[in-house]
Homo-oligomer: A and B are copies of this chain.
Amino acid sequence: MGHRAGGSRATVTISDVARAVGVATSTVSRALTQPGRVSDAMRERVLAAANELGYQPNPHARSLTSGRTQSIALVIPDVTNPYFFDLIRGTQAQAKARGYRHVLVDTEESTEMEAATLAELSSSVDGVVLAASRLPDAALLEASERVPLVVVNREIPTVPSVVIDTPRGMVQALDHLVSLGHSSVAYLAGPPTSWSSRKRWRAIQQSARRLGVTAHSIGPFSPTRAAGAAAADAAIRHDVTACLFFNDLLAIGSLQRFAERGVRVPQDMSVVGCDDIFGADFCHPPLTTLTASIEHVGRVATDMLLASLQTAGIEVPAPRQREKLPTHLTVRRSTGPAPDRAARPIDASRQP
């Protein structure tokens, strides 16, 4: 008997309601979904009957005929990463606000799984928000022809996107470090397939040249706390006084390692993270990092997606198809003046 034959009758369909009211199913359908196209009296009666019978529309049947599913998907490489939680929060909140269901898919950093997911999804949701894709541009371009798509932190001509301007943020961070007297910094890079990581390094590199300081790119590292230890070790080996990390997870992971190795943050080493995730403000020491509301990114991406659904097929100037959201440096206690490196080996007591 399964679950459909619970306490009451089996599934109540639209025709049960129609029969109860004594009208055609189409009338019920309209009363339920197109308020203006039936008389008020009729709407009342239908709603009453539907309520009475405990009618629940079957979304699958609805999708099948209408083509709309009233659901969007968020595709991310790793549900484990707190960064994405803020994104989930944003997309989920905005989807719900707009009456859409929210499907979450984790591709586990696998490009194949990502590709397969996009293919499947194209027939089961109205649109996709794709974050931190590991797929090449061409694949994304093709996917965006099959299903409305908004990519996050990726820029591809003609594909709608929302990116955070972290390269500019990295430049600010570098300025901050230079103004603190640092002249040799490291960028601890993210995954090689990460578009963002490459962009960030390029910005740092250029800015370093302009400022006349040296910058090393070290890595790649997995964007995880666990990899933070290796990143910290590498930074120490490169003899820099400041680190710009690909993300907060790496930075937070490094903090403990620095402590273990007797490298004081920020006295001996300044640390800058990126994203200002949950925890960045209460780790020890609290992290100087690039702040942007990831939740906001999720909302903007969702809005962009849903807006494009409205105008799908119609030749209306679609709303902004490309957003670049600003980020700013939040200075906490993990950055400080560069150690006086000359003083240390020669005469540590020079300072009174």
- Interface stretch, picked from A36-44, A58-66, A169-177, is A58-66
Q: Verify if A283 is at the interface (C-beta below 8 Å from B).
A: yes
Q: Verify if A115 is at the interface (C-beta below 8 Å from B).
A: no
Answer whether A64 and B60 are a contact pair too, CB < 8 Å, given A283-B283, A284-B282: yes
Answer whether A2 and B252 are a contact pair too, CB < 8 Å, given A123-B11, A278-B279: no
Q: Verify if A226 is at the interface (C-beta below 8 Å from B).
A: no
B278 lies within 8 A of A57 (CB): no
Interface centre among A64, A104, A106, A312 (most CB of B within 10 A): A104
Q: Which residue of B lies closest to A7 (CB)?
A: B145
Q: How far is the CA of A82 from the CA of B146 in the complex (A)?
A: 34
A88 lies within 8 A of B79 (CB): yes
- The size class of the interface chain A forms with chain B is 35 or more
Q: How far is the CA of A57 from the CA of B123 in the complex (A)?
A: 8
Q: Verify if A101 is at the interface (C-beta below 8 Å from B).
A: yes
B96 lies within 8 A of A106 (CB): yes
Q: Verify if A56 is at the interface (C-beta below 8 Å from B).
A: yes
Report A75 CB to chain B, min CB distance, Å. Answer: 12
Answer whether A93 and B64 are a contact pair too, CB < 8 Å, given A59-B124, A82-B278: no
Q: Provide the residues of chain B in CB contact with A6, threshold 8 Å.
A: 145-146
Q: Besides the contacts A59-B120, A82-B278, A93-B106, what 15 more A-B pairs have beta carbons closer than 8 Å?
A: A3-B146, A3-B147, A6-B145, A56-B120, A59-B124, A60-B63, A60-B69, A60-B123, A60-B124, A82-B85, A88-B104, A89-B106, A102-B103, A102-B105, A103-B104
